[in-house]
Structure 1
Amino acid sequence: MQELEKKEFERLLPYLYKRKERCPTFVFAVLERFIPGFVFADDLNSPKTIFVGTDSGLYFVGGPISNVAFNKHFLKFCSSKLKEGRRFTLFSGSGGWDGLISDCFRLELKQSSRYSFTFHPEEYGVKEVQLQEPFTVSRLDEATIRSSHEFNLEYYERFWGSAGHFLDKGFGYSVIDGETALAGECTSIFRGKVYAEIDIYVDAEYRGMGVAKKAAQAFIDHCLKNEMIPCWDCNVENLASRKLADRLGFREPSSYSIFVKNQ
């Protein structure tokens, strides 16, 4: 398992973009230098198996599981990280990795399933949500972040390093009730040059009013205008998220596993 220097990250991109199974968006965010992180590969010149991590404690492993030396170093790395007491969320690239991770960390990690959807722009031609006045849609700015309970300064420090870096490289939209009341938000938890992953939150008082869909439409419109692909992932049991995804043109859910620390 060899660690790549930052200037070598782009070597992996052709391989990842050709993969049948799409990687998590944060992998592209790291490789395309939108957020800090590290990258390991089995071979620098012809990579097949990779391990990518972010500073926020998100990790992805994918590719063939047949490289014994790579697996040994990968498992040792995970064991060391688990002892640090910080966040640890591991995204698995296949059923083979599911089995290997489960066998080695059965007591330390809990497995759960998520869906990754494929966006179909031809299915997106949905009727725009018309909210009653005084609702307005605005691009996220520093004032909105400071007033948010969910996507606040701490959120952007965790996933982007700082709110300032997010405002420079990321994007998102808010639905405001009146002058200042924040009804809902849709933000890019991660983005690369091609993919942008949606994270969405609506205040309990405004749920069921179309706020989530309105915010998501603004996000998707931004992606289409800038030739990006919006990404929608959610927990398998999150029926509300799955239904909203379907109404917005996200189809063909593909399941994958994540592993988080047992509490």
Structure 2
Amino acid sequence: MIELENKYYYKALPLLRQVEINTMFAEVVLNHDISGSVYVDCLDNPRTFYVVHSYGMSLLFGDLGNEAFMDKLYHYVTNQSATRHQVEWLQTDPAGRWSEVMDSMLLTYNGQLEKSGLLPEEIERKSILRNTRVNFSFHRDAYLESKQNFPKHGEPIICVTKEQFLTQTGSVIPSFFWRDEEHFAKEGVGYSLLRDGKIASTSFSSCRTGNQLEIGIETAEAHRGKGYALSVCSALIDHCLEHDLEPVWACRLENQGSYYLAQKLGFRPTVTLPYYRLPLG
């Protein structure tokens, strides 16, 4: 794994376009819309790519077979050399055999941890975990039909402002997906539901490429289970429909709240693939 200078990120785009899953988070890195890193098998004519979004999402795609790359990949995903400074969530191109490679690395590394004598909680914290990533397709008619039965809230829903961009807290918020408030104001969009003047739930564009807009959602813990996420997501989907944009949704299958919320909003599961949590080690 050799880090690629950002002026050469374009070299990854032809192969990325052949990956038949939602790759929007990787595309915005390659297009310099958000910070990230790209690692390759060689600099002159790279054929294997590992793209990391600054939020901690990563994508592995391209050719297999470079042993030096494989060796460095193992050290990277296990973080035995402490080169990574955050937990990552990795998905791989399902058309290749990368999931087999990752499963083999997972078994090897986790097996070593089991024999290490560490406490069970330490083993769990350091292990590579295999979850499931779900891609969805949007069905306009299903959404419009469901929308007729959405609950009505008296709380106001407003467009996300620059001030809210800068001050909102949470784990999935606009500032993690855009360079700054000016970038978001120019190319992004979001809607917040206010409760007693404070943000209770926000739906926003986490990625925007071409005519597609990927939806991010954050609801304050004290306001979950009240249907607020449904309302703000509906506002964002309406914006998409008004501006000829395709709304895009993806989540972990294990995130049952997001999984079922998507289906209430007219999304239908289309693809599932392994989703690896890479620990700090």
| TM-score band, normalised by shorter chain | 0.7 to 0.9
Match of 2:170 among 150, 161, 173: 150
Measure how far apart 1:231 and its partner are: 2.8
- Pair 1:260-2:278 in alignment: yes
Q: Do the aligned residues in 2 keep the contact of 1:32 with 1:192 (CA within 8 Å)?
A: no
RMSD: 3.3
Matches within 5 A, 1:92-107: 92-93=91-92, 94-103=98-107, 105-106=109-110, 107=113
Shift of residue 160, structure 1, vs aligned partner: 3.5
Unmatched runs of 5 consecutive residues or more in structure 2: 93-97, 114-125
Q: Which runs of 5+ in 1 are unaligned?
A: none
Aligned equivalents of 1:145, 1:206: Cα separation in 2 = 19
Task: Give TM-score scaled by structure 1 length.
Answer: 0.79
Aligned residue identity for 2:279: K
1-structure distance, mates of 2:131, 2:232:
26
**Alignment partners' CA distance in 2, 1:194 and 1:68:** 39
Structure 2 Cα separation of the partners of residues 166 and 229 of structure 1: 18
Partner of 2:18: 18
- Residue 127, structure 1, aligned to residue 139, structure 2: no
Return closer, same or farther for 1:42/1:149 CA change in 2, 3 Å cut-off.
closer
Q: How does 1:223-262 map to 2 (within 5 A)?
A: 223-251=240-268, 252-261=270-279
Distance 1:65 1:194 in 2: 32
Count the aligned residue pairs: 258
**CA–CA distance in structure 2, aligned partners of residues 226 and 44 of structure 1:** 40
Partner amino acid, structure 2, of 1:148: Q
The 1-side partners of 2:109 and 2:15 are apart by 29
Distance 1:162 1:198, change over 3 A: same
Is 2:52 the partner of 1:53? Answer: yes
Q: TM-score, normalised by structure 2?
A: 0.74
CA drift at 1:99: 1.8
- Tell me, yes or no, if the aligned pair for 1:110 and 1:262 is still in contact at 8 Å: no
Offset from partner CA, 1:34-85 (integer Å, 9 cap, x none): 1012223346787542111234444322234333232233334446686157
